[in-house]
Amino acid sequence: MLADRSIAYARYVDRSRGLVNRKIFVDPEIYQVERENIFGRCWLYLTHETQIAKPHDFVNVFMGEEPVIVCRDGDGAVHAFINSCRHRGNKVCRVDAGNTKAFVCPYHGWTFDTRGDLQGVPGHRDLYFGELDRADWGLVKVAQIASYRGLIFGTFDPEAPSLEEYLGDMRWGLDLLFDQGDFEAVPNITRWSMDVNWKFASDNAIGDMYHGAWSHRSAMLAGHISGNGTRSASIKPPQRDNGFTMVTAYGHGFNANYLEAAAQLDTPLAAWRKDPAARARLGELRSRVNRANMLVFPNLFVNSGSRELMLRNPFGPERIEIWKTILVDKNMPPETRRQQVRASNRHFGPAGMFEQDDGENWDQSTAGARGNISQRYDLNYSMGVGHGTFVEDEQSPPRIESLYNENAQLWMYHVWAEFMDAESWPQLRAEHDEPRGVL
Ligand SMILES: [Fe+2]
């Protein structure tokens, strides 16, 4: 469904005052436009390169609600195509992952290779298939695929800018994680679902260090240790200056808090902090960071502290599936690797202490957006609005020298409205605002 041009989605987000209308979290029609204008256009995370390491390896993933097969052909090149036979639309592969030279539709046996091209149709020689001979009936291909530091992304929009341009300065943020070591994905992913709107999960990822000391206080008091061996956050009341915030083009951003002076770094999981090569890659500013909660717009949460990728994929306005991938340094001793995986599962995932706190929060936020009377009253995202100071120096792309503010969340909603109002990628690209515009 194309956007109704009589509606300006920008009216739902008041960036200068820090207000967001609740309707955008529950309205079924808005969600249908999101499927087209957000999930049909943006670069979306697909899988980690090490999860399809060998020729003919494949994984089944989702881009929005579209089931997509990502696989390597016999030469090792990566392809992605919609998991839906062109004959009657059935899935041609129903398992999560594996290795195969062909995908065969269970209904009539149409057969596709690992490039998604149609290889054979039972009876093709004897029966008459008029259309089959005149057009490409291979699986529908994802328009563009590219990767950044092991993360494979795809977009359905042939007009989308390159992944490099799309990520832009956010790459400096992602490298907070990737410069720590040489990462591979722990085999398999953990999947679970929540009855929440996807944007509440994204707004927690992009800039909500604020909730940590309150929502996760019980976990921290219990001595929770993050995946990279340091405590996850301060249990002291929020201190504005103990970190920084970054907002980058196309809706990405993060909060990063600094290590506290009292942080214990003599654990095996924190050993990387003493590695001079890692410190040199990170540079002085990033070496001081305890953890960064990052969002690659629209729906990939990257956590530099616990070393996790959490994809929050929408299945309706009030439903997400979360897919969690744990990244570990290839050079870690096996016992340290096991420690990191255990720490991760205590933290995020269905049994994770933080995850359960957050899931309940987003569930309640979504519920709080349903009321037709409530919807007349905007949500307040005004913390720090008009009070941010951008620092421009050689240490990083422009950053806001404050940890606790809602600038990144507002930026995400502002860009959301831009995508919703734009006719196309070229229009969005031409009219895209400056991330710094509000301060
Ligand atoms: Fe949280």
Kindly give the distance from the C-alpha atom of residue 128 to the centroid of ligand 1, in angstroms, as a whole number.
59
Average pLDDT over residues 152-159: 98
For 326-384, write each residue's pLDDT tens digit: 999 999 999 999 999 999 999 899 889 999 999 999 999 999 999 999 999 999 999 99
Residue 72 has pLDDT above 70, yes or no: yes
Supply the DSSP symbol for 423. Answer: S
* Secondary structure of residue 205 in the 3-state scheme: helix
For 91-141, write each residue's pLDDT tens digit: 999 999 999 999 999 999 999 999 999 999 999 888 888 888 878 999 999
Task: Give catalytic status of residue 357 as yes or no.
Answer: no
CATH class of this structure's domain 9-38+168-431: alpha beta
Tell me whether strands 57-63 and 97-99 are parallel, antiparallel or unpaired.
Answer: antiparallel
Amino acid identity, position 170:
M
Kindly give the distance from the C-alpha atom of residue 358 to the centroid of ligand 1, in angstroms, as a whole number.
5
Task: Give catalytic status of residue 358 as yes or no.
Answer: yes
Distance CA 182, CA 54 (A): 18
* Catalytic option among 211, 275, 357, 363: 211
Kindly give the distance from the C-alpha atom of residue 172 to the centroid of ligand 1, in angstroms, as a whole number.
23
Task: Give catalytic status of residue 133 as yes or no.
Answer: no
Prior bond to 237 cis, omega within 30? no
pLDDT value, residue 1: 41
Task: Kindly report the average pLDDT of the chain as a whole number.
Answer: 93
Give the burial string for 347-367 (b: 16+ CB within 10 Å, else e).
Answer: bbbeebbbbebbbebbbebbe
What is the CATH topology of the domain spanning 44-147? Rieske Iron-sulfur Protein (2.102.10)
Average pLDDT over residues 144-157: 98
Kindly give the distance from the C-alpha atom of residue 208 to the centroid of ligand 1, in angstroms, as a whole number.
8
Kindly give the distance from the C-alpha atom of residue 211 to the centroid of ligand 1, in angstroms, as a whole number.
7
Task: Give catalytic status of residue 216 as yes or no.
Answer: yes
CA–centroid distance for 207 within its chain: 13
Kindly give the distance from the C-alpha atom of residue 169 to the centroid of ligand 1, in angstroms, as a whole number.
24
Domain ranges, ordered by start, for the chain: 9-38+168-431, 44-147
Q: Is the dihedral of CA 400, 403, 404, 409 positive or negative?
A: positive
Residue 233 has pLDDT above 70, yes or no: no
CA distances from 29 to 4, 32, 34, 156, 385 (A): 10, 5, 9, 21, 30
E strands, 88-242, are 97-99, 102-104, 111-113, 118-120, 144-148, 151-155, 183-185, 190-194
For 3-61, write each residue's pLDDT tens digit: 444 559 999 999 889 999 999 999 999 999 999 999 999 999 999 999 999 999 999 99
Strand order in the sheet with 57-63: 78-82, 66-72, 57-63, 97-99
pTM over 0.75: yes
Distance CA 242, CA 163 (A): 31
CB atoms within 5 A of ion ligand 1 belong to 358
Amino acid identity, position 246:
M
8 Å CB contact between 242 and 234: yes
Kindly give the distance from the C-alpha atom of residue 383 to the centroid of ligand 1, in angstroms, as a whole number.
18
Task: Give catalytic status of residue 108 as yes or no.
Answer: yes
* Residues 6+ positions from 188 with CB-CB distance below 8 Å: 97
* Catalytic option among 56, 108, 157, 432: 108
Lowest mean pLDDT among 130-144, 214-228, 237-251: 214-228
pLDDT value, residue 4: 46
Kindly give the distance from the C-alpha atom of residue 357 to the centroid of ligand 1, in angstroms, as a whole number.
7
pLDDT value, residue 132: 85
pLDDT over 70, % of the chain: 95
Distance CA 24, CA 250 (A): 19
Residue 104 has phi, psi (to 5 degrees) of -115, 125
* Catalytic option among 57, 179, 208, 329: 208
Site of tokens 């201190």: 239
Site of tokens 């054979």: 120
